[in-house]
Amino acid sequence: MGRQLLQGVAEQPLAQITAAVDRPDTPAIGVDVQVLCGEIPTGVTVVDSIQSVIGSFDTIIDFSAPSASIDLLNSLKGSDARVVIGTTGFDPDQLEQIAEASKSMPIVFAPNYSIGVTLTLSLLAQAASALGDDYDVEVIEAHHHHKVDAPSGTALKMGEVVAEALGRDLKECAVYAREGITGARDPKEIGFATVRAGDIIGEHTVLFAGNGERIEITHKANDRATFARGAVRAALWLSDQSAGLYDMTHVLGLTPTGAN
């Protein structure tokens, strides 16, 4: 994703790469961004510390790991930086820390920066509101075998959107595993199924199953560049925003589909 983000910025005439940060153990440290992403005349080299580049950028796009994202926000306290967070897998305490940080800095926080996924979330809210409690809901997602969190942040967001539209609390109705004699399905539950295999970039389906029919709303990503382009679009949009916590529905001017 780092290289995709660099390419996404390079494709956008209103954006410019001024800094790049990666883990200390990566071979990219010290390498010019131009070498990583083709003929991009930036003169920017990858560093291993955010502290060394604070003040050299207006907005930072973060696709890392939960602990690294929190460390980033802590490092940016008191600065004028804006942050786009694409990391997933946060625990409740970390989510609270993100919300707290947004009181003093503008943050776009979304589990998925695909424009198609954002539109899919709006469709899911409409479908759930129209179908009501007469349809069972299952969320099925698939990703590559390197992904470390499950279900995906996008799948959880889809579950949150559906639960909110149905007047439910996902924390109380979500079912993440079924094995053995489980008994009949609770009509209020929202089930999740996870696949990790090969190089699947990302596939999400929400199944609404009723008596005699079922409706499936699916999004499939074929290229990680779509996430990078959405994140860059979010970064440009964020340049005019005051402190607060936003998601891609705000960026696209859609009706928000619930808080992160």
| DSSP notation for 127-166 | HHHHHGGGSEEEEEEEE-TT--SSS-HHHHHHHHHHHHHT
From the list 72, 66, 82, the residue with the least C-alpha distance to 49 is 72
**Over the chain (260 residues), what is each successive 10-residue block's mean pLDDT?**
86 90 90 74 84 93 95 94 94 96 96 91 95 97 95 94 97 95 95 97 96 97 89 95 94 64
**Cα–Cα distance for residue pair 113/225, rounded to 1 Å:** 10
| CA 231 to each of CA 59, 60, 113, 115, 239: distance values in angstroms, whole numbers, following the listed order | 11, 10, 6, 10, 13
| CA 98 to each of CA 39, 77, 84, 86: distance values in angstroms, whole numbers, following the listed order | 36, 12, 11, 12
Contact 115, 230 (CB under 8 A): yes
What is the location of CATH 3.40.50.720 in the chain? 2-113+224-252
Give me 102's structure tokens.
Answer: 């947004």
How confident is the model at residue 139, as a pLDDT? 98
Give the helix ranges, DSSP H, for the chain: 2-10, 33-36, 66-75, 92-101, 115-131, 153-165, 170-173, 225-238, 248-252
Identity of the residue numbered 94: Q
- pTM of the predicted model as reported, rounded to 2 decimal places: 0.76
How confident is the model at residue 41, as a pLDDT? 56
From the list 215, 23, 41, the residue with the least C-alpha distance to 137 is 215
SS3 167: coil
How confident is the model at residue 38, as a pLDDT? 65
CATH code given to domain 115-221: 3.30.360.10
How confident is the model at residue 203, as a pLDDT? 96
How confident is the model at residue 260, as a pLDDT? 39
Angle, helices 66-75 vs 92-101, to 10°: value is: 30
How confident is the model at residue 259, as a pLDDT? 39
What is 2-113+224-252's CATH number, 3.90.1150.10, 3.40.640.10, 3.40.190.10, 3.40.50.720?
3.40.50.720
**Cα–Cα distance for residue pair 183/47, rounded to 1 Å:** 54
Q: Hey, which residues are catalytic here? A: 143, 147
